[in-house]
Amino acid sequence: MHNPPIPHVDSSDPEIAALIGGEARRQYEKARLIPSENYVSVAVLEASGTVLTNKYSEGYPGRRYYEGQQFIDPLETIARDRAKALFGVDHANVQPYSGTPANLAVYLAFAAPGDTIMGMALPMGGHLSHGWSVSATGKWFRAVQYGVRRDTGRVDLDEVRDLALKEHPKLIFCGGTAIPRTIDFPAFAAIAAEAGAILVADIAHIAGLIAGGAHPSPVGHAGVITTTTHKTLRGPRGAMIMSTAEHASALDRAVFPGLQGGPHNHTTAAIAVALHEAARPEFRDYAHQVVTNAKALAGALAARGYDLVSGGTDNHLILMDLTSSGIGGKPAAKALDRAGIETNYNTVPFDPRKPFDPSGLRLGTPAVTTRGLRAGHMEQIAAWIDEAITAAAKADETVLDRIAGEVRDLMSAFPAPGWTR
């Protein structure tokens, strides 16, 4: 059952309780390989489900528009201080509701509608909110987009520099959602300085790796850093903006009153708890194990003949290009889900197929590493992925159901925060 228990939901709303319980069991039984997901600790879950959700706190500690902030003010101050200490930044705002609102606040702080901004194109590994055409950021700003090289699958820094010097963007975003390689923050910083742009490092995917010392930090290179809190950082769904002192007040004004109303105080508390956990030595071990596991999984998939964008990974994320496997990313992801292995279909760079039926599969190791899986288990997971993709190409559902049972057996040996038998 769900942990912490939910007896009051059980008795007052059994329909919703059953769905929550079902999701807790699903998360326990599956090998969850979506690289932007994780398992938060029971402490983070407890903090998320508190009376803090009852309170309005528009403003910032010491400057609120509602009375009764005796406990909220110190709580938000602790969350901000923990973020500053963990990442080594001058300033942290913990109020953005999630990653896209955090990025929108950066636009509001430093750009006006119609201004030129620059980011990585979504199909190349970037994020919608870095100026992709269907996003408000692509509609309201003049977005120029960079990509990766066709031959290496890696960011082409020469292209980034040429584009930045030609287009003079106000903001340059680095980071994204499907980047399997180390982000070269010093190189981006040099380009931004030359072009007169503010560099924004969106570290949503790799924040936990940075906190744990398993990926270089953008601090000292990017004036503004945005992140969600729920991916490798292993906190609740939320976001933060961090910056140099110079940009602090513009960013704070953009979040509130520019973009948002009252902060979600229960989320702020859970972020504080997660940041406390991320400052512990065990979290460093976790971050490095995530990368070790991802490299092991990538190696095992490559050994089975799969094409990996950029040839492998430096971080938590692997992007498989299934073009030569005779199956699209979507049917492969659906078959894997039936086989107990959760991934997501994804475009690959230069994908000839549509985003809703793309050629790629995106997977990663943050969640299974939290469960306790180690590099040795990645060989077995790669074998299951291979078998399931082969079975899916032949529409053999018996094989998928057999694998699901084997995955369940493996995962049942590893406790999942959020579930107790």
What residues are labeled active site? 56, 58, 202, 228, 231, 237
What is d(CA 233, CA 8) in angstroms, rounded to the nearest whole number? 30
- Within a 10 A sphere around the Cβ of 326, how many other Cβ atoms? 10
Q: Which of 27, 36, 103, 313 binds ligand DSN (CB under 6 A)?
A: 36
Minimum CB separation of residue 176 from ligand DSN in Å reads 8
Cβ proximity of 176 and 125 under 8 Å: yes
Angle value at C-alpha 264, between 259 and 267, nearest 5 degrees: 125
Closer residue to ligand DSN in complex, CB, 195/297? 297
Per-residue three-class SS string for 68-99: CCCCHHHHHHHHHHHHHHHHCCCEEECCCCCH
Minimum CB separation of residue 127 from ligand DSN in Å reads 6
Tell me, what amino acid is at 16?
A: I
**Residue 227 binds ligand DSN, judged by CB under 6 A:** no
Minimum CB separation of residue 279 from ligand DSN in Å reads 24
| Paired tokens of 172 | 């340059």
Instruction: Give me the residue whose beta carbon is nearest to ligand DSN.
Output: 36
Beta bridge partners of 146: 120
Closer residue to ligand DSN in complex, CB, 177/229? 177
Instruction: Scan residues 127-146 and list those touching ligand DSN (CB under 6 A).
Output: 127
Closer residue to ligand DSN in complex, CB, 99/340? 99
Minimum CB separation of residue 177 from ligand DSN in Å reads 4
Instruction: Scan residues 86-125 and list those touching ligand DSN (CB under 6 A).
Output: 99
Minimum CB separation of residue 54 from ligand DSN in Å reads 29
CB burial readout 58-96, b (16+ within 10 A) else e: ebbbeebeeeebeebbebbebbbebbeebbebebbbbbb
Closer residue to ligand DSN in complex, CB, 36/325? 36
Closer residue to ligand DSN in complex, CB, 195/201? 201
Q: Which of 137, 177, 226, 289 binds ligand DSN (CB under 6 A)?
A: 177
Give the phi and the psi of residue 148 in degrees, each rounded to 5.
-120, 165
Contact positions vs ligand DSN (CB under 6 A): 36, 99, 127, 177
